[in-house]
Amino acid sequence: MKASRLLTAAAVAALLPMVAVVAQTPPPDHGDQASPPAQSARHGSSFDALDTDKDGRISKTEAAANPDVSAQFSRYDVNGNGYIERDEVTATNNSAPPAEPKQ
């Protein structure tokens, strides 16, 4: 009985690091869609990660750390002030995607 409990405890202890690995696994890539600033943590570009000066907004210089965010900067900078604010990201992500051009 004691050996069984010891074996069970050892097995649980051995599996604990796997729980941390699974919890930190990034979400799957969904095609070639560009990742918005608030959702691209896999590339080190979550909103908070890109906001390096912690002023609550992402400048063009800060956005340059991620090519996807930099390329779509004007799409997210809705008010045109040269910064991406968190509410702009939320509003842009909740709006309908732009229509595909007809060929």
- pTM reported for the whole predicted model: 0.52
The residue among 88 and 100 whose pLDDT is bigger is: 88
Where in the chain are the domains? Answer: 57-95
Please tell me the distance from the alpha carbon of residue 51 to that of residue 6, in angstroms, as a whole number: 48
* 12 pLDDT above the threshold of 70: no
Q: DSSP code of 42?
A: G
* 54 pLDDT above the threshold of 80: yes
* 59 pLDDT above the threshold of 70: yes
Please tell me the distance from the alpha carbon of residue 75 to that of residue 41, in angstroms, as a whole number: 19
Tell me phi and psi for residue 23, to 5 degrees. Answer: -65, -25
- The neighbouring-strand residues paired with 40 are 45
* 84 pLDDT above the threshold of 70: yes
How high is the pLDDT of residue 23? 47
* 70 pLDDT above the threshold of 50: yes
Q: Is 49 exposed, middle or buried (0-12, 13-18, 19+ CB in 10 A)?
A: middle
